[in-house]
Chain A
């Protein structure tokens, strides 16, 4: 037991001494982003406990409260700090719950992309030859469709085939599938390029000489050495997936209004922009922009930290 605790302590100390923490200590912007990110994630995850009301609970919604302004404007009510939307839902609660949906879709889609793209990229890079050519042409074809077009087609087909109610119930899953299946080539290309570098290193030859199976070499020897680029593009891809979800919801192909994501919340407020209730669109929009910006900045910082040889500044 005692030894265990000592081991954990040295591990913490080693983490404290690492280049990662050193870079973080010196970079104010990264600190700010990390703090904002942690704050946002914490409030999103704790939404059921800290949100003033539950926007999914119809009993708590009163239509008479609709379109109340946020607290700094005249006519606001103390129970609704950021005002209400057109259905009388508290906007702060709806943003927090909506962000949960957005991030769930973003993470799910990125996990799907990462698994699919990494597996295919690894296979293409390691096996080479015909498999490589076929998979990479598939990537080219996939990249020539835009995500939005794919999503519109799939969304429209599912909606007509199974009806709007089904789409409402399984909206999260469908959006994860659509975004995940249309953005995997990013991963496949990055992983393949890294595998082509790693494959010619002697440790891979040593593994072959020791008689390890191809699968073992790919998963246990090459894959761990391709993780840092995967991690870096994942941050960018999460931001992209959340934006794609917002765009789809805005076009009416995303989450239904009863279970709004940030995108569908922005869309629902869009109709009231002209009538003076600008906060219904603007506040979730600002939250979305801030979140995506923070994730992107953190991703850039992570890339610079993991690849210290890259020149400073944007590439």
Chain B
């Protein structure tokens, strides 16, 4: 395929068109009613291209991308499962696409029923009382969940609870969400295996603590075995437990966060429930809560009346609203289709097979890669780079070399507990053959690191573009076509 790097703006020719619109049949001139000083005077430099130009341009761009449909993504904490095609088709159904969010409820019963059924299914799978589907993404779910946490304490007149405990191994969004929610972050140290140190936790639990945010299994893929003790301690201290659903996949079908004592959780539908990542969204971050917190969930809520009809409700005790309408409904449709396809029986396989796949890779690679925490992991695990540190080949080098072999890189340099972290999560949708190919390639890269280290250090060698000047990009940011054009002059 020919190398292609034009911008859509560079295809533009004055007077070319990529659209057809009807003629004005109204006999009115609305524009004449708008005073000139309210109109745009700046020239509008947008592309003028044909429909075929657009189709070829974006098809060419798509060829420069790697997706789950292209190949395997061993990307830790990102749960890059296969995105079933039928879900895409269903989510685009005109019967839903044409529904206005403010349409009278009696004319949107199908959309409301779907929203309600998904709320209900998530509640059952998570062991929590109720869910809101309004949050747009995982981090938005965290923020919403922490707002619930604060609302709970405020409603009890418990105003001094302004701190939230976050383990140092937590995802970066946890402390950032706490900051946005107006909570002060108190970091609790992890043990070497990444789990929360109960002894370190105890002295932190005073009456200023609103709660704790936990990821279980933690970001090293290890189950927090003392979770019941932690839950007891936090609850006794008057705090609430927040479950970061980014790592829910290994527990799906096996363990419910609500049963472990969690009061609040978010779920990333674009991880655990197979909706596509879309190159960085749209995702969806439903938030579930225990019975004692239901009234604080954000408005609007979708409920079922005694007559079996669905309706939109608001609650004065709610924390407020966090979205213009009902969140990313199209994403919910896909997740709902995923749950129905697996059904109550099939969903039991999800966590266990994801865990099987992760352990299989771990055991197959620990001869060449440094496994800092030995033992059974859940859906993911972390290597601390290559075992043989004498070659000078870093985790970054290995990651880039994988691109040459047609694999996506693992999550690298996270968690921060190790210098050369390489976090691998295969998900349950990958076959043993794919895992074996990946294992082979990882062994090959380890061998190359010993025999031809420079080749690995210069990777990637075969991708469409090679190592990028990231420092230059940050130092002198060129963020638009206009700026690019100006620089070229």
The yes or no verdict on A and B being binding partners is no
Interface set of B (CB-CB < 8 Å, partner A): none
